[in-house]
């Protein structure tokens, strides 16, 4: 009897959701990888392995090999078109970052140019940390800048591929992370921490294009790129709305990255967000994922 009531509640919830015109949000479909075919991840990004062209779906929104699974969805929420990508990897070193030019250069490039250079399978713009001078910034295991700033929420990604919110972005908070850090970002604010949506305080509510990254499970991530008020039939999201969305997509930890006209999500060699895909602002850096199967180069 109890099971029948549960099923009835689920059915009614679905019916009311459809009736109200609300789209059910996609969720992570867990994939298990075998480690037998994995190769050591190249330390030099120019040596990253090429993806398997047969791993892409015909529409270019899905990719799968023995080390990497990507599923991309186009949804509509808050009167705004949104792109959601679930990414699962076999090794934490498949999650990488790359700058347009080595630090401390302030050079910029379009995301498609950076992504092509490093053989990314999926990539997003990061925090453009060279645009300002604050924050504690690690990239690919190297500390590039150590300028603590208690006005920033930071994001750190450790050698296990786990995301950590660092608030405020000062050395004592970084010291609480027991594992070595591969990457850190100085933008924010933090959106979700310990599976709780964070309250956004002392921030004017605006509706814009947004970019966010979140962790759903070990080595499993959700990337979100939203349209903004400059696009047709689009309102854009506020930061609190983005935080709610990331939580509803299953992220137990989530962080806001550079948005506005910088918002770019690249699948292989194609920008997949926004209504003018060929329009891309040059950015300072990207977050990207690569395959760990070397025989794609043969």
pLDDT score recorded for residue 16: 41
pLDDT score recorded for residue 293: 95
d(CA 228, CA 106): 26
Distances (CA, A) of 257 to 4, 128, 184, 239: 43, 9, 11, 11
d(CA 298, CA 290): 16
State the 10-residue block means of pLDDT for the chain, 298 residues long.
Answer: 40 41 86 88 94 95 97 98 98 97 96 96 97 95 96 96 97 97 97 96 90 98 97 96 98 97 94 81 96 76
Residues contacting residue 30 through CB under 8 Å, at least 6 positions apart: 88, 217, 220
Residues contacting residue 287 through CB under 8 Å, at least 6 positions apart: 95, 96, 97, 123, 124, 125, 126, 183, 213, 257
Quickly count: other Cβ atoms within 10 Å of residue 103's Cβ.
15
What are the E-state strand segments in 115-219?
A: 122-125, 135-139, 142-147, 154-158, 163-166, 181-186, 190-193, 196-197, 211-217
pTM score, two decimals?
A: 0.91
pLDDT score recorded for residue 278: 66
Sign of CA dihedral 285, 287, 292, 298: negative
Quickly count: other Cβ atoms within 10 Å of residue 63's Cβ.
24
């Amino acid at each position: 009897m109890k099971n029948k009531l549960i099923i009835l509640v689920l059915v009614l919830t679905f019916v009311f959701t459809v009736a109200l015109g609300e789209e059910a949000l996609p969720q992570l479909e867990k994939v298990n990888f075998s480690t037998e075919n994995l190769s050591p991840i190249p330390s030099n990004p120019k040596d990253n392995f090429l993806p398997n062209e047969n791993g892409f779906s015909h529409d270019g929104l899905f990719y799968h090999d023995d080390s990497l699974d990507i599923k991309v969805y186009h949804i509509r929420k808050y009167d705004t078109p949104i792109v959601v990508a679930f990414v699962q990897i076999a090794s934490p070193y498949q999650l990488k970052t790359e700058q347009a030019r080595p630090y401390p250069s302030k050079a910029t490039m379009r995301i498609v140019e950076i992504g092509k250079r490093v053989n990314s399978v999926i990539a997003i713009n990061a925090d453009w940390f060279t645009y300002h001078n604050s924050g504690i910034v690690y990239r690919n295991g190297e500390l590039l800048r150590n300028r603590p700033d208690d006005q920033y929420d930071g994001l750190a990604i450790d050698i296990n591929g786990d995301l950590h919110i660092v608030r405020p972005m000062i050395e004592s908070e970084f010291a609480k992370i027991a594992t070595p850090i591969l990457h850190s970002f100085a933008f924010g604010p933090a959106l979700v921490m310990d599976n709780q949506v964070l309250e956004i305080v002392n921030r004017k509510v605006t509706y814009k294009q947004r970019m966010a990254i979140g962790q759903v499970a070990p080595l499993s991530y959700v990337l979100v790129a939203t349209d903004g008020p400059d696009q047709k039939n689009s309102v854009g999201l506020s930061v609190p709305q983005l935080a709610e969305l990331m939580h509803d997509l299953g992220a137990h930890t989530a962080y806001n990255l550079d948005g506005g006209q910088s918002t770019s999500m690249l699948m292989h060699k194609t920008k997949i967000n926004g209504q003018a895909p060929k329009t891309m602002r040059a950015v300072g850096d990207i977050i990207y994922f690569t395959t760990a199967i070397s025989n794609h180069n043969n």
